[in-house]
Structure 1
């Protein structure tokens, strides 16, 4: 079993490998029963968001982490990857502003991606 912090680091590294940016890691465990963490990032195009999501899924499989559900790959505008205790949101830069999950979940605890060794480009 992979430690949750290692899992978050793996997800951030996968996003960073495909040039994802504007990372948010939100601990929502105290405010929701949906999951424990959201990991959110942007891509600049539909194709880039799809590549980021594919890389997250590939790295998860390599690490022995299960992906329970994935949606949004067809359009590449908002891709959701459900990994049980973590839900990854890969947004096209324009969509992220519309849905604004960072504000919607502002009662959660925000964790700086640099704690996982990932520079947060905005």
Structure 2
């Protein structure tokens, strides 16, 4: 019989999103928003949006998420935009994290695309 160990930690999407929001808050991420798109999106269950004060801050926030995800044994699929740091997308499978510079956050208006989706509260 094969030993089937779970590769990644099992946790509810909302709990994972709250954990990530806490990590971002600890690193001074600004205007953190969690959007529950369960049943509305075929790609993910939770969308997390955060503003960074500048390119270096955005890169640091993204790197921190990767470090903490590895530490917590969370699934990580991909990251885009880290090099430019203006809009970094981190795919944690059931949680998508958008790290934006403020002006790009306003321009792309991710929250506005999901006005029908409930927002998730978290403790900062």
* TM-score over 0.5 (shorter chain): yes
Whole-angstrom CA distance in 2 between matches of 1:2 and 1:32: 19
Where structure 1 has 5 or more consecutive residues not aligned to the other structure, the ranges are none
1:1-122 alignment runs, 5 A limit: 1-112=10-121, 116-118=122-124
Secondary structure of the 2:79 match is strand
Give the C-alpha shift of residue 2 in structure 1: 2.7
Tell me how many residue pairs correspond in the alignment: 115
TM-score normalised by length of structure 1: 0.89
Contact 2:25–2:32 (Cα < 8 Å) also in 1: no
Contact 1:2–1:63 (Cα < 8 Å) also in 2: no
Whole-angstrom CA distance in 1 between matches of 2:61 and 2:81: 12
> Structure 1: which 4+ aligned runs deviate by more than 4 Å?
none
| CA-based RMSD | 1.1
Whole-angstrom CA distance in 1 between matches of 2:109 and 2:14: 24
> Greater shift after overlay, 95-104 or 6-15?
6-15
Contact 1:28–1:37 (Cα < 8 Å) also in 2: yes
**Which of structures 1 and 2 has the bigger CA Rg?**
2
Give the C-alpha shift of residue 3 in structure 1: 3.2
Whole-angstrom CA distance in 1 between matches of 2:14 and 2:110: 21
